[in-house]
Chains A and B, each alone.
Chain A
């Protein structure tokens, strides 16, 4: 059940680009030696991701961009869990840094961006009143429902 397509390169490419940006930052703020180590780790991680995309597993299918409906649901649940963990960690960091009297804007920024992203997602992916396609074209064609509440049952 394995396929070789160019989409397998996406996850390793994202890792390679993100790691290289980080290595560049390390080179600027620290040393070239540390930057080279970061780049080597990035390269190894990219290779691991590439190998993973070939595996006959949920993770392989998701990273290889060939996920079916259940695997997309797994990805959605895992993303939701990661979001909750990230926001909780940002909140905890903000609480600790405020208590220590340090700068807390980084944790505040992560939490705020997460919150804005969440609201944006709700607006983008949620159902809206004007999404109604009418009784002619929808999957319930001919079996219309009303959005107006009825007083009688």
Chain B
């Protein structure tokens, strides 16, 4: 998609550090933020964030 972390952070209204934390699996976003991310990437939220897969990591 060629999107930088800063650009994504601005689009979602969060900090760059939070994007890094979500990408690294160190932070699970709140429901509203998870929905915002899923809508932004046009992916169902349950495909984007699967708690069971997160636990396996």
Contacts and interface: CB of A to CB of B under 8 A. Distances in A.
Interface of A: 1, 56-58, 61, 67-71, 73
A61 B15 CA distance: 8
A58 B6 CA distance: 14
Interface of B: 6, 9-10, 13-18, 21, 27, 29-30, 33
Contact of A1 (B9, B21, B29, B30): B9
Contact of B16 (A56, A67, A69): A56
28 contacts: A1-B6, A1-B9, A1-B10, A1-B16, A56-B16, A57-B17, A58-B15, A58-B17, A61-B15, A61-B17, A67-B15, A68-B13, A68-B14, A68-B15, A69-B14, A69-B18, A69-B29, A69-B30, A70-B14, A70-B15, A70-B17, A70-B18, A70-B21, A70-B27, A70-B29, A71-B15, A71-B17, A71-B18
Nearest to B26: A70
B16 to A, nearest CB: 6
A66 to B, nearest CB: 8
A76 to B, nearest CB: 13
B22 to A, nearest CB: 8
Contacts of B13: 68
B14 to A, nearest CB: 4
Nearest to B22: A70
Contacts of B18: 68-71
Nearest to B9: A1
A61 B18 CA distance: 11
Nearest to B5: A1
A73 B33 CA distance: 14
B8 to A, nearest CB: 11
Most buried by A among B14, B16, B29, B30: B14
A57 B18 CA distance: 10
Nearest to B14: A68
A67 B18 CA distance: 10
